[in-house]
Amino acid sequence: MNLLEMKNVTKRFGGLTAVSSVDFEIEKGSITGLIGPNGAGKTTIFNLITGVYKVTEGKITFDGKDITNKEPYMIADMGITRTFQNIRLFKKLSVYENVLTACQYNANYSLFEAMLYLPRCRKQEKQLKEQAENLLEIMGLIDRKDFIANNLPYGLQRRLEIARALSLNPKLLLLDEPAAGMNPDETAQLMNLISDIRKKFDLSILIIDHHMDLVMGICEKIMVLNFGCKLAEGTPIEIQSNPKVIEAYLGVEG
Ligand SMILES: Nc1ncnc2c1ncn2[C@@H]1O[C@H](COP(=O)(O)OP(=O)(O)OP(=O)(O)O)[C@@H](O)[C@H]1O
């Protein structure tokens, strides 16, 4: 069953077609990869799915509902969250505060209840703190909960960003280059972590990354973009042996 469907999606910026008539599906519970050379349109696809950019033509459906050109906060509420190519954290807040502020989006007590610190507010605050601690535990960050985010090593900042994205209880998590700047050991650890969180949170995951070992190692399906068009789609083995992909992308590596 498909969780997300893009039908004939095009995005133009003036005269530039960044994404051209792309059809694409993400199966529920899957880890899917999105690869392609620089400028191929990968991040634009993330921005179209999350409502940051408006679709020029075509339709995007999520969990059976049309989300084309909905506002980003509506799409996040429906269950799609993401991380960014350039890490976006509250750099001067602690690791714990970064996750807790994201968890607090889930609170639904009123301002009145908060001002008087009524029982419903107290109960929810306690639950949100537990949720934040639990996420830090899962992401291997609990020992550094009081560190200032900016002082974390780069790889851990990426994990913290994933923890923040998970705090909104998504059904679909979009990871934009989660292994950027990581060494092979850190990349291998991240692969295990991504597989774990898919199981623990019953998630579907879409990953953009240039680390072929990561993408080929954990994705069940991969879509290859080139100049905004879908060049190929298939299992890692099919993609690795596809002559068009080798020529356009893998062949130019190294
Ligand atoms: N807001 C924008 N305004 C104008 N052009 C844009 C905008 N966003 C993206 N583009 C253009 O769309 C094309 C696709 O960009 P995109 O960032 O989606 O590529 P990408 O595949 O994610 O590349 P990379 O691997 O380098 O991150 C590029 O030519 C880019 O310059």
Looking at residue 254, its pLDDT comes to 46
pLDDT in tens, the chain (254 residues): 899 999 999 999 999 999 999 999 999 999 999 999 999 999 999 999 999 999 999 999 999 999 999 999 999 999 999 998 888 899 999 999 999 999 888 888 888 887 877 788 888 889 999 999 999 999 999 999 999 999 999 889 999 999 999 999 999 999 999 998 888 888 999 999 999 999 999 999 999 998 888 999 999 999 999 999 999 999 999 999 999 988 886 555 44
Looking at residue 237, its pLDDT comes to 96
CB 42 within 8 A of CB 68: no
Maximum separation of any 2 CA atoms in the chain, in Å: 66
Pocket of ligand 1 (CB under 6 A): 13, 16, 18, 36, 38-44, 85
Give the count of alpha carbons within 13 A of 84, CB side only.
7
CB 44 within 8 A of CB 13: no
- The ipTM assigned to this model is 0.96
Q: Phi and psi for 33 in degrees, rounded to 5?
A: -110, 145
91 Cα to the center of ligand 1, angstroms: 26
- Structural domains in the chain, sorted by start: 2-62+69-220+230-251 (3.40.50.300)
Burial 106-137 (b: 16+ CB within 10 A, else e): eeebeeebeeeeeeebeebbeebeebbbbbbe
Looking at residue 130, its pLDDT comes to 94
- Rounded to two decimals, the pTM is 0.91
Looking at residue 80, its pLDDT comes to 97
40 Cα to the center of ligand 1, angstroms: 7
168 Cα to the center of ligand 1, angstroms: 27
